[in-house]
């Protein structure tokens, strides 16, 4: 079966088992408005699927997936031709849905971060019009001092870069005035997650200790 038909087959199974057998309740409320408590910004990477790895159900996660789970800083811009897809989703999540948590989830082996750490040759880079400016939002994550380079090998630097990029996105979230306000009012919490694809382990950022800790 090819990849496309595999999806159609999966959809039929979803209709038969997931909706009919397991989620009768969801069918009853599906016509009403959505009311998720959590928004997640995750990478487009096919191996990192937020609903699967958290066993979430329909209606539970308000999702944005983009290259390298990046949140840009607040920028209303003056030009309507500027496209703020991620910011629009964040605005909707906060102002309309009033989510209580925003999670930024990064992961190991991220291609977007890889392009920051090992930039492609100039000719190759020019083939990509959108990735470079997008990844520049978190470029500072890939900058290491000579001292840091001396104590970290390339593999550790990539992993550190992936985690630092999550923190930059969390910082950028706070540049949105209504997010800052919601945090101040105690009605919104921000979380940083890091998913290690090889082990399947998930780590959570500890704001006090300033480190990512594995969730047991």
Measured from the CB atom, is 110 or 190 closer to Zn ion?
Answer: 110
d(CA 116, CA 144): 12
Tell me if 161 contacts Zn ion by CB under 5 A: no
Question: How many residues contact Zn ion, by CB under 5 A?
Answer: 4
CB of 26 within 8 A of CB of 19? yes
Q: State which of residues 39, 40, 42, 45 lies at the interface with Zn ion (CB under 5 A).
A: 45
What are the residues facing 49 on neighbouring strands? Answer: none
Question: Least distance from C-beta 50 to Zn ion, angstroms?
Answer: 12
Distance CA 161, CA 159 (A): 5
3-state secondary structure of 186: coil
CB of 45 to Zn ion, least distance (A): 4
Indicate the DSSP class of residue 185. Answer: T
Closest contact distance (angstroms) between CB of 119 and Zn ion is 16
Rounded to 5°, the CA angle 68-117-126 comes to 80
Count of C-beta atoms within a 10 Å radius of residue 148: 12
Q: In terms of CB distance, is 48 or 190 closer to Zn ion? A: 48
The verdict on 43 binding Zn ion (CB under 5 A) reads: yes
Residues 89-128 that bind Zn ion (CB under 5 A): 110
Report the nearest approach of Zn ion to the CB of residue 210 (Å).
Answer: 23
Task: Let me know: does 157 contact 116? Beta carbons within 8 Å.
Answer: no
Q: Which is nearer to Zn ion, 131 or 174 (CB)?
A: 131
Question: Which residue ranges make up the site for Zn ion (CB under 5 A)?
Answer: 43, 45, 68, 110
């Amino acid at each position: 079966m090819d990849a496309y038909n595999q999806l159609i087959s999966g959809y039929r199974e979803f209709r038969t088992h997931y909706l009919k057998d397991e989620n009768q309740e969801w069918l009853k409320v599906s016509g009403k408005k959505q009311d998720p408590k959590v928004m997640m910004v995750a990478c487009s990477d096919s191996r990192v699927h937020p609903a699967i790895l958290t066993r979430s159900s329909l209606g539970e996660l308000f999702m944005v997936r983009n290259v390298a789970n990046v949140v840009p800083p607040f920028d209303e811009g003056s030009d309507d031709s500027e496209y703020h897809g991620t910011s629009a989703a964040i605005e909707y999540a906060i102002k309309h849905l009033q989510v209580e948590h925003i999670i930024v989830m990064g992961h190991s082996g991220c291609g977007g971060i890889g392009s920051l750490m090992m930039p492609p040759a100039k000719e190759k880079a020019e083939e990509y019009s959108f990735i470079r400016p997008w990844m520049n939002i978190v470029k500072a994550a890939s900058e290491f001092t000579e001292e840091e380079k001396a104590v970290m090998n390339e593999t550790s630097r990539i992993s550190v870069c992936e985690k630092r990029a999550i923190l930059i996105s969390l910082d950028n979230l706070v540049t949105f005035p209504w997010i800052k306000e919601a945090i101040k009012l105690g009605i919104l919490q921000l979380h940083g997650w890091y998913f290690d694809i090889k082990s399947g382990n998930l780590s959570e950022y500890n704001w006090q200790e300033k480190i990512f800790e594995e969730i047991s």
